[in-house]
Structures are given as C-alpha cells and as structure tokens.
Amino acid sequence: QLQASGGGLVQAGGSLRLSCAASGRAFTNNHMGWFRQAPGKEREFIAVIRWSGGSTYYSDSMKGRFTLSGDKAKNTVHLQMSSLKPEDTAVYYCVMANRIRPILSSIRSVNSYDAWGQGTLVTVSS
C-alpha cells in the first residue's frame, strides 16, 4: 500500500514537496518513485530510486527542477519540486516495484510498476 501526501495549489515559480510511504510489502520493494498524469495525457515518468545500489533515475525533462530522495529503512520517498510551471499541473502517483530490468526504457515504463498510490493533485496557477 502506498500513501501519498503533499499535493495542493501553488503559484508558478513556487515549490512543493510530495511524500509517499509504503507499507505491507516493504521486503519486496526495490524501486519507489513517481509518475504523473495531466488531463487528457498519458501517465508520465518523473523519477525513481533503486534501493539496491542507491541509483536515482529522472525524466530528462524534469531533471534539475525535481529532486527525489528517500529512506529505505522507513520505505518513504519525497519529491521536491521547484520552479513549478502551469504545465506541471497533474495528478502525481507514487509507485513501487520489486524487479525491473536495469535499462532506462524499463525503468521509465508504467508497465514496470505493480503498485500505485491513489494519486495526489498538484495544481500550478499562472
């Protein structure tokens, strides 16, 4: 189970921090991260952390503005978002998976994640 929090309304240029806590299957969780889905668009990869090895993977378009951090012992991840734009408006989903092929196309694929949180809405006003 994934519980996300931190969404809300923010002005363009502002910052927001999302958090996600996992429970129930911590021992089979090797990847945690975030996707988002804007109205009328497909779900989009943001970032994920691989606990074994400690690597973090980002979307090329969001790297630099978004920073993912986490605590494996607590099975939590945080997404710090800065310089937000109206086009960042979306429902943000926390995700989790155990094994994923260590190639970018798999890490960034929605099909690689078998646990999804309920989503938290982020609205960026212009």
CA distances from 29 to 15, 123, 125 (A): 28, 29, 35
What is the reported pLDDT for 123?
Answer: 98
What are 62-106's pLDDT values in tens digits? 989 999 999 998 999 999 999 999 999 999 999 999 899 989 999
Structure tokens at 14: 């502002």
pLDDT score at 27: 61
The predicted model gives 22-44 an average pLDDT of 88
Whether the per-residue pLDDT at 107 is higher than 90: the answer is yes
- Looking at every residue in the chain, the average pLDDT score rounds to 94
Which residues lie below 8 Å from residue 31, measured CB to CB, with a gap of 6+?
48, 49, 50, 51, 95, 96, 97, 98, 100, 107, 112, 113
Amino acid at 84: L
Predicted confidence at residue 57, as pLDDT, reads: 96
Band (pLDDT 50/70/90 cuts) for residue 23 is confident
The pLDDT of residue 33 is above 90: yes
E strands along the chain, which residues?
2-5, 8-11, 16-22, 31-37, 44-50, 55-58, 66-71, 76-81, 90-97, 115-116, 120-125
Average pLDDT estimate for 39-50: 96
pLDDT value for 9: 97
